[in-house]
Amino acid sequence: MQAFLRTYSDTSLQSPMDAAVVIPTVLRPVLREALDSVFAQRFHGRIHVLIGIDNIAGDLAMLDAACAARPSHIAVQAYWPGYSTSARHGGLTPPGDGGALRCVLTHLANSPFVAYLDDDNWWGPDHLFQMRQAIDLAEWSFALRWFVHPVRRRPVCVDVWESVGPGQGMFQANFGGFVDPSCLMLNKVACPTAALRWNFPLRNDPMSADRSVFDLLSRHHRVRGTGQASVYYTLNPRDGLHPLRLQRMGAAYDQVERFE
């Protein structure tokens, strides 16, 4: 029995594709916006989208509706093993944001070039094109991101403090820098052990597997940034960094807050 709940494809999936996108989700409604941004990519190549469902908390009909508008060069597969792999929902794998899904789907992706997108974020239309251009000269690539108001769903400002790459930003001293998962693409053939790091968050922080991945990539693999802010990252008021972000965004956040 296949573990893919849904497959949306117009052609055979056997031939390797030009890029892959891994999206962990619990089928929140915001997934539709994330998928729409992938479908709108100005990318001349085949794209394999793998949606990993950690816990079915939403409606598969939403996924069917979203993929009805899928361009013919994009294949989408929705994967659910029948249970949650995350310790957060009773599984065995520590990460609270998808369990083993990012690791498993990185291996399953039928492309060497794997990008990641959280279901509450989205991409600008040239994101994949720019990421592929950058990674062709390296082993992993990254883009910059916009902070997005959590209610207004409008960009506030470019993040110039946190997700800014190796040796940069406010996490340089403790972690050597940082790149958010939605800003990341890796060549899984050139970085064969990177996928496993998605299963290993830092101690006492189940949401930090991205730092393990970043640590390996930044220490052992060649990187190239696009220099473009093509990722739209939704702020979470419950995040421990939110008060500091508010302070640093200042008037820009207030202006979006008052937007009607």
Tens digit of each residue's pLDDT (9 = 90 or more) over 196-231: 999 999 999 999 999 999 999 999 999 999 999 999
CA pair distance 90, 98, nearest whole angstrom: 12
What pLDDT does residue 10 have? 93
Residue 245, token pair as written in the block: 């972000």
What pLDDT does residue 57 have? 87
What pLDDT does residue 2 have? 56
Check: CB of residue 83 under 8 Å from CB of residue 91. Answer: yes
What pLDDT does residue 260 have? 58
What pLDDT does residue 257 have? 86
Helices (H), 15-126: 31-39, 60-67, 101-108
What pLDDT does residue 1 have? 45
Per-residue CA distances from 179 to 22, 172, 175 (Å): 16, 11, 11
What pLDDT does residue 259 have? 72
Q: Which residues of the chain are modeled with pLDDT < 50?
A: 1
Residue 152 CB burial class (10 angstroms; 0-12, 13-18, ≥19):
middle
Per residue in 53-78, pLDDT tens?
998 888 899 999 999 999 999 999 99
Type and span of the H or E element at 221: none
Task: DSSP letter for 12, please.
Answer: -
What pLDDT does residue 58 have? 86
The answer, as to whether pTM is greater than 0.95, is yes
Q: Are strands 74-79 and 47-53 parallel, antiparallel or unpaired?
A: parallel
Q: Taking the CA atoms of the chain, what radius of gyration do you get in angstroms?
A: 17
